[in-house]
């Protein structure tokens, strides 16, 4: 693999890199990122066997009134009670992803957490710039409330879940709903390896604790170069409080939150600082960090990553159950 840094990486991740023979990094222009991502995806598909699709989960593809596509996931067993219902917002730096890109993740969440999930095929940059993606997610969340009877959804246990850029959109969506429709406030928020602040917007008081864009600038998967391309493509204002959600004045109004970070991720300190801000704002939360692992480490079907991936998903399901439960306020079961 050449002279790549191996310090402080989880051993299973280094074994996975040996298997594929190189360190994949998202970097450069949007066009380069799109090409590299497609080539990396083809390599993974051609060299690894993915688990079969879980068809026990019932799915239905529909469109919102605006035309945005959604996919509804419902658990396999006939229910006699209303189920928690939430939206799922995929990752991809605002420029990548679709309903299929995290379909397996949605099926896992739906079945193992026993929830109804609505995945949002939000508009992507650079064709659609900020706040297009957020607007689509807010529309999808409101759609749940307009269609609860059809979904057999429990509106008293509505939640929002997002990964990476989707983690940012999940937080921002919760804030938008709190601001515009407080009666529809979600009871739970799940934000996995999220973007929580543009680096140029970090206040001086937090700068000593915001080092991962430097310390982890060349880590696997996500890099500082890639993040800058994502921000530029999405056309963000760094000080927009719905982009730099860490600085939003509504933090104290957020619901119970499960947040995840990775130790070898340029977004490591986005998660750490957001968890610290939730603590300061007295928001119930549980923060988990996976030392030595990079962005999206759980997504690869290599046998060497199986234990870590399963632990991530076990923790995720427990985290979802916790944010939806009125019990165990300290989240000690996660």
Question: What integer pLDDT is reported at residue 284 of this predicted model?
Answer: 97
Q: Virtual CA dihedral for 58, 64, 67, 72, nearest 10 degrees?
A: -10
pLDDT exceeds 60 at position 332: no
pLDDT exceeds 90 at position 258: yes
* Confidence category of residue 326, pLDDT binned at 50, 70, 90: confident
pLDDT exceeds 90 at position 132: yes
* Confidence category of residue 192, pLDDT binned at 50, 70, 90: very high
Which residues form the catalytic set?
Answer: 164, 265, 295
Secondary structure of residue 23 in the 3-state scheme: coil
Calculate the average pLDDT of the chain. 95
- Edge-first strand order for the sheet with 69-74 is 58-63, 69-74, 116-120, 83-89, 153-163, 188-192, 256-264, 285-294
* HSE, side-chain direction, 13 A CA sphere, residue 70: 26
Backbone CA torsion sign across 186, 192, 198, 204: positive
* Confidence category of residue 114, pLDDT binned at 50, 70, 90: very high
Q: What is the rounded CA–CA span in Å between residue 292 and residue 10? A: 4
Q: Which residues of 38-54 are buried (b: 16+ CB within 10 A; e: fewer)?
A: eebeeebeeeeeeeeeb
Question: What integer pLDDT is reported at residue 330 of this predicted model?
Answer: 53
Question: What integer pLDDT is reported at residue 126 of this predicted model?
Answer: 98
pLDDT exceeds 90 at position 127: yes
Q: What is the rounded CA–CA span in Å between residue 202 and residue 182? A: 28
**Backbone dihedral angles phi then psi of residue 107, each to the nearest 5 degrees:** -65, -40
* Confidence category of residue 5, pLDDT binned at 50, 70, 90: confident
pLDDT per position as a tens digit, 25-62: 999 999 999 999 999 999 999 999 999 999 999 999 99
Tell me which H or E stretch contains 61. Answer: strand 58-63
Asked whether 132 and 113 are in contact (CB, 8 A), the reply is no
* Confidence category of residue 149, pLDDT binned at 50, 70, 90: confident
Share of the chain above pLDDT 70, in %: 96
Mean pLDDT of 159-187: 97
pLDDT exceeds 80 at position 252: yes
Question: What integer pLDDT is reported at residue 2 of this predicted model?
Answer: 54
Mean pLDDT of 252-267: 98
Question: What integer pLDDT is reported at residue 1 of this predicted model?
Answer: 56
Mean pLDDT of 1-5: 68
Q: Which residues of 171-194 are buried (b: 16+ CB within 10 A; e: fewer)?
A: bbbbbbbbeeeeeeebbbbbbbbb
Question: What integer pLDDT is reported at residue 270 of this predicted model?
Answer: 98
pLDDT per position as a tens digit, 285-315: 999 999 999 999 999 999 999 999 999 999 9
Q: What is the rounded CA–CA span in Å between residue 71 and residue 60? A: 6
């Amino acid at each position: 693999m050449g002279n790549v840094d191996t310090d402080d990486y989880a051993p299973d991740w280094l074994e996975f890199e040996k298997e594929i023979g190189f360190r994949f990094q998202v970097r450069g222009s949007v066009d380069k990122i799109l090409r590299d991502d497609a080539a990396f995806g083809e390599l993974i598909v051609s060299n690894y066997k993915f688990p079969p699709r879980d068809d026990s989960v019932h799915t239905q593809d529909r469109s919102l009134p605006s035309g945005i596509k959604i996919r509804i996931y419902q658990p396999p067993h006939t229910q006699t009670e209303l189920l928690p219902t939430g939206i799922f917002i995929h990752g991809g730096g605002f420029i990548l992803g679709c309903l299929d890109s995290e379909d397996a993740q949605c099926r896992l969440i739906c079945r193992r957490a026993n929830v109804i999930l609505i995945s949002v095929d939000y508009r992507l940059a650079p064709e659609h710039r900020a706040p297009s993606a957020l607007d689509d997610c807010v529309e999808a969340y409101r759609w749940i409330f307009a269609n609860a009877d059809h979904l057999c959804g429990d509106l008293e246990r509505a939640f929002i879940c997002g990964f990476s850029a989707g983690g940012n959109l999940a937080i921002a969506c919760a804030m938008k709903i709190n601001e515009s429709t407080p009666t529809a406030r979600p009871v739970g928020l799940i934000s996995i390896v999220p973007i929580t602040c543009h680096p140029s917007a970090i206040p001086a008081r937090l700068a000593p604790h915001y080092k991962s864009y430097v310390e982890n600038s060349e880590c696997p998967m996500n890099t500082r170069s890639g993040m800058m391309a994502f921000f530029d493509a999405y056309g963000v204002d760094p000080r927009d409080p719905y982009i730099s959600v860490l600085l939003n004045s509504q933090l104290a109004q957020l619901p119970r939150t499960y947040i995840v970070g990775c130790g070898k991720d340029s977004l490591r300190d986005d998660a750490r600082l957001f968890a610290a801000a939730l603590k300061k704002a007295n928001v119930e939360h549980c923060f988990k960090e996976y030392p030595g692992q990079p962005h999206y480490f759980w997504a690869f079907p290599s046998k060497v990553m199986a234990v870590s991936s399963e632990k991530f998903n076990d923790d995720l399901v427990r985290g979802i159950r916790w944010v939806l439960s009125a019990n165990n306020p300290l989240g000690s079961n996660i």
